[in-house]
Structures are given as C-alpha cells and as structure tokens.
Amino acid sequence: MKINVLLSPVFADELYYSGKVTAVIDVLRATTTICTALANGAKEVIPVASVESAVKVSGGMFGGLTLLGGERNTKKIEGFALGNSPLEYTQEVVQGKSIVLYTTNGSKAIVKAKFSSKLFILSFNNLNAVAEKLLSLDKDIEILCSGRNNGFSLEDTICAGKLITEIMKVKEDAELSDGAKISYNINKTLGKNLHKVLMESDHGKILSANGFDEDLNYCSKLNTYDIVPLYSSNVIKISH
C-alpha cells in the first residue's frame, strides 16, 4: 500500500484523482461539520464550489427538505439557513434533510477530488472509522488536506498523520511519500494535544476571535462518530 498526502489542494488538478481512493480533510470545520450532520440524521450533504452553485442546486430541490449551509470569512452567508459550525447541525435541525454546503476551502477541495473512485470525508471525529474502511479496501491512498487559502494548515496535516499512524498499526510496510512522511512526523511531534493544536493554528485563532471557541473543542475530539461519509454522484452519504 502506498500513501500520499497532498498538503494543499493546489498540489494536484481534478484529473489527478481519477480512479484513486481519496480521503479529504478540513478539520476546521467543513469535514467535521459534514460528519456531524450525517451522524445526526441528515439524508445527505451536497458540497458545492461556489455560493452561486449552492443557490442553484438548492433551488431545484424541495424547499422544506433542503437547507443551505456554509460560510464566508467563518460567518453564515446571508440568506443561508446555517453557518459552518458543526454545533448548529443538531438532530432537530438536520434530521432527514439534504444540506447544500459551501465553504471557503473544504467543500471546494471535496469537489476538486470528485473523480476519485472512492472519496471519503475525514475529520478527527471519525478518524478510526475511515482508517478501518481504508484498511479493508487495501488500495493505495491519497489524503487531501483542504488547507487554508491554497496554503498549508497544521490541523489538516496532523489529521493526515494520525490517519497514517492508525493505518500503519496494521500495514507496517506501507510506503509513504514525502508529504505522507511529513504528516506522520508532524503528528508524532505535535499531535498529542489536539485542542492546543487547534487553538494555536492560524485558522483556529481566527475562529476563536470570531467567537467559535466551542467549535475548536468539538473539532479536536477523536472518534466521536463511527461513520464513514462517502462522496458519490455529487452527494455525501454514510457508507454502509
């Protein structure tokens, strides 16, 4: 098994993902929000790469059963029902609903990797479940970090490193690319106190300044959910 980590979405174009098994990460906060929404009973999450697509896609769906969610500069977008805080995606709010989600980095990264043969959604909250799924497939793996504004983000890289660490407990001989080795080693050095990592990260500081301290706590929790969200035919659902 070969494992590669793309430390930012700029490292590859859409066609790169064709036929590959990919896990996308945006710990703060898109992939954590997607896991939460699905764990709380949302029917599906539809990630989109622009606000215009969000409005267009939701316009063609049944009003009461669809919710528009997402953020610009961490804040809810005008006219949207929900922002991008996972804490908003409670069972009462999302049960049975289709959620169209636009976020600055995360939803775009997912859409970019859409040609993958299997595309999984990863956060700290569902790390072991995704690791188990990837081990059962036993294929080479691409891990895509959504990062920040086409740059690197510490929290996504540490999450990639933790996934690799989990996989290597079983596949000791997995072959790591340079990006995978960096992630593995950064997790070893910095990945013990995840809450601290998130609070001290570039995006974590911005979220904290905007009043989202509770989100940092929530997004830092390991294995809250035993679910594997899978993107297929433009929608994300729990894979069974």
Interface with ligand MLT by CB under 6 A: which residues? Answer: 26, 28-30, 71, 74, 84, 103-106, 207
**Quick one: CA torsion of 74, 131, 239, 97, rounded to 10 degrees?**
-20
- Helices then strands, counting H and E runs in the chain, come out as 10, 11
Minimum CB separation from ligand MLT for residue 152, in Å? 13
Residue 26 or 44 with smaller CB distance to ligand MLT: 26
Residue 3 or 74 with smaller CB distance to ligand MLT: 74
Minimum CB separation from ligand MLT for residue 140, in Å? 26
Minimum CB separation from ligand MLT for residue 77, in Å? 11
Residue 49 or 174 with smaller CB distance to ligand MLT: 49
Minimum CB separation from ligand MLT for residue 79, in Å? 17
Minimum CB separation from ligand MLT for residue 130, in Å? 18
Residue 132 or 202 with smaller CB distance to ligand MLT: 202
CB 183 within 8 A of CB 160: yes
Neighbouring-strand partners of residue 99: 45, 67
**212 DSSP assignment:** -
Residue 166 to residues 71, 163, 174, 211: CA-CA distances in angstroms? 31, 5, 11, 33
The residue at minimum Cβ distance from ligand MLT is 103
CB 138 within 8 A of CB 170: no
How many of the other CB atoms lie within 10 Å of CB of 181? 14
Residue 212 or 225 with smaller CB distance to ligand MLT: 212
